[in-house]
Amino acid sequence: MNIVALLRVVPDVVEELEIAPDGKALDSEFLRLVISETDDHALEQAVLLKERLGGTVTALAIDAPEIDETLYGALARGADRAVKTGDAEMNLSARAAALSFAAAIRDLGPVDLIVTGAQAIGDLDGLVAPMVAYYLGMPYLGTVTGVAPGASGKSATVIREFPGGVRGEFDVPLPAVLGIQAAEKPPRYVPVAKVRAAMKSQSIATCGVATAAESGPPVVEVLSMAKPEPSGHAQMLEGDPDVLAARICELMGARGLL
């Protein structure tokens, strides 16, 4: 079974995000890019399937600064190939990213299953995965939490979880694109030595860069970005407990709470 895991990096929200001086993008000076969490789960699910059923895993990523680190990490985790596509300089829209992925997948040869994160913090609508499916003419299922390919390899049983504690099982013909919500097991830790060994012994290929012409000119433009204005502040009261108690009663009375 040949599986492709699609990976993208997103801004690390552990760092405080700053807006660039032009007010239209994130300031890249302090920006730290990390693999999107759900993509990490998709990669883990791909490696788990490979360990269970054999086959190959290809980690395919949209090029970005320091993407090599992520791809070597994927190799160290058990991927057989690491490929990057797209243009690191272009801040790709969901459509452009999907086109790049689709172009690269066509170059990669036969594929049975494509997994990627159902959503990413840069793609909250979860557009990329279904678009890849559309461009490749494959079925798509999102918010997936479990995959069990059938014995014939022609279809897979897919588990999805819905709000309200409902779980559904679906049968999907292969090849298909799956948007992974969570892998069966949390992504494993990859020791540094293994990543270093992957860096020494393996390399990253580039393929299928979609041209700007293919994706067309951007039709949506960023007007401005800003931090949300805080809507209200907590008021801190200080002082003698008796005075404070009276003040609290007064405030609550004024708000009709007493």
Partner 1 sequence: MPEGEIARPVFYLLPVWMVALFYLLAATGLGFFFYGAWHRVRRYLRGRADDQAVFTWQGLVRGAAAIFPNRTVFRDDPYAGIAHLCTFWGFAGLFIATILVLVDNDFLRFVLPEWQFLKGTFYLVFSWLADLSGLLLLAGLFLLASRRLILRLPFLRYQARPEAVRLPSPPALAREDWLFLGLLVLLGMGGFLLEAFRIRAGGPEFERASFFGWQVAQGLGSLGLSPEGAQAAFPYVWYFHAVGALALIGWIPYSKAWHMLAAWYSVAFKDHAGAKRLPAPPEGDSGGYGRIEDLTRSELVMLDACTRCGRCHAHCPAASGGFPLSPRDVVQVLRAYAERPAANGALAGGVVPESWLWSCTSCLACVERCPVGVWHVPMIVQMRRFLVAQGQVETRVGETLQSLGRYGNSFAASPRNRAKWTQGLGFKIKDARKEPVEYLWLVGDYASYDPRVQEVTRSAARVFERAGLNFGILYEAEQNSGNDVRRIGEEGLFEALRDKNLKVLEKARFEKIVTTDPHTYHALKNEYPNGRPVLHAVEVLDELIQNGKLILEKTLDGPVTYHDPCYLGRYNGIYDAPRRVLAAVAGEVAEMPRSREKAFCCGAGGGRIWMEDVPGVTQRPAESRVREAAALAGVGVMAIACPKDLAMFQDALKTESLEGRLAVKDVVELVEECMSK
Q: What residues make contact with partner 1 under the rule CB under 8 A?
A: 12, 14-16, 30, 32, 34, 77, 186, 188-197
CA distance 258 to 254: 8
Contact 174, 61 (CB under 8 A): no
Distances (CA, A) of 167 to 37, 126, 146, 159: 22, 20, 11, 7
Instruction: Output phi, psi for 30, to 5 deg.
Output: -105, 10
Nearer Cβ to partner 1, position 12 or 68?
A: 12
3-state class (DSSP) for residue 144 = strand
CA distance 92 to 85: 11
CB of 15 to partner 1, least distance (A): 5
Nearer Cβ to partner 1, position 192 or 246?
A: 192
CB of 71 to partner 1, least distance (A): 16
Nearer Cβ to partner 1, position 192 or 244?
A: 192
**DSSP characters over 165-216:** TEEEEEEEESSEEEEES--SSPPPP--HHHHHHHHHH--EEE--PPPHHHH-
Nearer Cβ to partner 1, position 30 or 134?
A: 30
Nearer Cβ to partner 1, position 5 or 183?
A: 183
Nearer Cβ to partner 1, position 37 or 87?
A: 37
Contact 55, 112 (CB under 8 A): yes
CA distance 172 to 1: 15
CA distance 71 to 41: 14
Give me the sign of the Cα torsion angle 174, 175, 179, 183.
positive
CB of 126 to partner 1, least distance (A): 25
CB of 191 to partner 1, least distance (A): 5
Q: How many CB atoms lie within 10 A of CB 49?
A: 23
Nearer Cβ to partner 1, position 69 or 87?
A: 69
